[in-house]
Structure 1
Amino acid sequence: MSILAIKHGIWKVAGEEVRQVKQVTLDSEFELEEIIQSNPAILQDNWLIIGRQVMTVYNTYIDLLAIDNNGSIIIIELKKHKTNREVVAQGLDYASWVKTLSPSQISTIYDDYVSRYYENQNTLEEEYYEKFRIQLEEESINNSHQIVIVASEMDSSTERIVEYLSDSLIPINVIFFTVFEENSTKFISRAWMIDPQETLENATNSVRDKEPWNGEYYVSFGDENNRSWIDALKYGFISGGGGEWYSRTLNQLSVGDRVWVNIPKVGYVGVGTVADTAKKADEVFFNDIDGEKKSIYKLSKNAKYHEEYLEDGINAEYIVKVNWLKAMTENNAASEIGFFGNQNTVCKPRASKWVHTVNRLKEIWQIK
Structure 2
Amino acid sequence: MPIEVGLWNITSNNISKIEYSSIDSEKRLEDVLSSNISILDDNLLIIGRQTPTIFGKYIDLLGIDPEGKITIVELKKNKTSREVISQVLDYASWIKDLSYDEIKNICKDYRKEDFESLFAQKFGISPPEKINQEHDMIIVCSELDNETERILNYLSNNYSVPINAVFFRFFSDSNSEYLSRSWLIDPIEAEEKICKSGIQNKGETWNGKDFVVNIDSYDGISIWEDAQKYGYITAGGGAWHIKSLKNLFVGARIFAMIPKKGYVGVGKVIAESIPIKDFKINKGDKEVSILDIPLKCEGIKKNSENLEICTYLVRVEWLRKNQENMAYWETGLRGNQNSAFKLKNKFTLDKLIKHFKLED
TM-score of the two chains, using structure 2 as the length reference: 0.76
Instruction: Deviation per CA, 1:99-147: give whole Å up to 9, x if none.
Output: 21222211111000013xxxxx3x22222222222222222x2222111
| Aligned CA distance change for structure 1 residues 196 and 91 (closer, same or farther; 3 Å) | same
Distance in 2 (alpha carbons) for counterparts of 1:227 and 1:17: 55
Question: CA offset at residue 343 of structure 1?
Answer: 5.9
1:290 corresponding residue in structure 2? none
1:69 corresponding residue in structure 2? 66
Distance in 2 (alpha carbons) for counterparts of 1:53 and 1:286: 53
1:9 corresponding residue in structure 2? 6
Amino acid paired to 1:247: K
Partner residue of 2:29 out of 28, 32, 35: 32
Distance in 1 (alpha carbons) for counterparts of 2:95 and 2:54: 10
Question: For 2:300, what is the secondary structure of its paired residue?
Answer: coil
Question: For 1:175, what is the secondary structure of its paired residue?
Answer: strand
Question: For 2:223, what is the secondary structure of its paired residue?
Answer: helix
Check conservation: 2:215, 2:223, Cα contact below 8 A: no
1:295 corresponding residue in structure 2? 290
1:250 corresponding residue in structure 2? 249
Distance in 2 (alpha carbons) for counterparts of 1:65 and 1:131: 15
Amino acid paired to 2:56: N
1:94 corresponding residue in structure 2? 91
Partner residue of 1:171 out of 162, 166, 176: 162
Q: Does 1:219 align with 2:211?
A: yes
Distance in 1 (alpha carbons) for counterparts of 2:74 and 2:297: 46
Q: Which has the higher contact order (CA 8 A, sep 6+)?
A: 1
Q: Does 1:278 align with 2:271?
A: yes
Partner residue of 2:115 out of 116, 120, 124: 124
Question: CA offset at residue 69 of structure 1?
Answer: 2.0
Amino acid paired to 1:166: S
Kindly report which structure 2 residues correspond to 1:98-109, keeping only aligned pairs within 5 A, or say none: 98-109=95-106
Question: For 2:16, what is the secondary structure of its paired residue?
Answer: strand
Check conservation: 2:79, 2:142, Cα contact below 8 A: no
Amino acid paired to 1:111: K
Partner residue of 2:179 out of 182, 188, 195: 188
Partner residue of 1:150 out of 140, 146, 163: 140
Question: CA offset at residue 4 of structure 1?
Answer: 4.0
1:133 corresponding residue in structure 2? 124
Question: For 1:125, what is the secondary structure of its paired residue?
Answer: helix
Unaligned runs of 5+ in 2: 236-240
Distance in 2 (alpha carbons) for counterparts of 1:309 and 1:169: 43
Distance in 2 (alpha carbons) for counterparts of 1:192 and 1:52: 22
Check conservation: 1:272, 1:323, Cα contact below 8 A: yes
Distance in 2 (alpha carbons) for counterparts of 1:224 and 1:249: 16
Partner residue of 2:188 out of 193, 197, 221: 197
Amino acid paired to 2:155: L
Partner residue of 1:324 out of 286, 298, 320: 320
Check conservation: 2:80, 2:141, Cα contact below 8 A: no
Unaligned runs of 5+ in 1: 116-120, 288-292
Question: For 1:164, what is the secondary structure of its paired residue?
Answer: helix
Distance in 1 (alpha carbons) for counterparts of 2:22 and 2:118: 33
Check conservation: 1:226, 1:305, Cα contact below 8 A: no
Check conservation: 1:179, 1:186, Cα contact below 8 A: yes
Distance in 2 (alpha carbons) for counterparts of 1:277 and 1:4: 26
| Aligned CA distance change for structure 1 residues 64 and 27 (closer, same or farther; 3 Å) | same
Instruction: Deviation per CA, 1:142-169: give whole Å up to 9, x if none.
Output: 2221111001110222222222322233
Partner residue of 2:255 out of 236, 260, 269: 260
Amino acid paired to 1:249: L
Kindly report which structure 2 residues correspond to 1:72-83, keeping only aligned pairs within 5 A, or say none: 72-79=69-76
Distance in 2 (alpha carbons) for counterparts of 1:152 and 1:324: 46
Question: CA offset at residue 316 of structure 1?
Answer: 4.2
Amino acid paired to 1:277: I
Distance in 2 (alpha carbons) for counterparts of 1:38 and 1:85: 28
| Aligned CA distance change for structure 1 residues 135 and 228 (closer, same or farther; 3 Å) | farther
| Aligned CA distance change for structure 1 residues 231 and 193 (closer, same or farther; 3 Å) | same
| Aligned CA distance change for structure 1 residues 9 and 304 (closer, same or farther; 3 Å) | same
2:238 corresponding residue in structure 1? none
Distance in 1 (alpha carbons) for counterparts of 2:265 and 2:104: 37
* Deviation larger for 177-186 or 295-304: 295-304
Distance in 2 (alpha carbons) for counterparts of 1:19 and 1:88: 37
| Aligned CA distance change for structure 1 residues 342 and 235 (closer, same or farther; 3 Å) | closer
Distance in 1 (alpha carbons) for counterparts of 2:219 and 2:246: 13
Paired residues, what number?
Answer: 338
Distance in 2 (alpha carbons) for counterparts of 1:340 and 1:171: 27
Question: For 1:134, what is the secondary structure of its paired residue?
Answer: coil
Distance in 1 (alpha carbons) for counterparts of 2:41 and 2:315: 23
The alignment-based identity, stated in percent, is 29
Amino acid paired to 1:270: V
Distance in 2 (alpha carbons) for counterparts of 1:66 and 1:55: 14
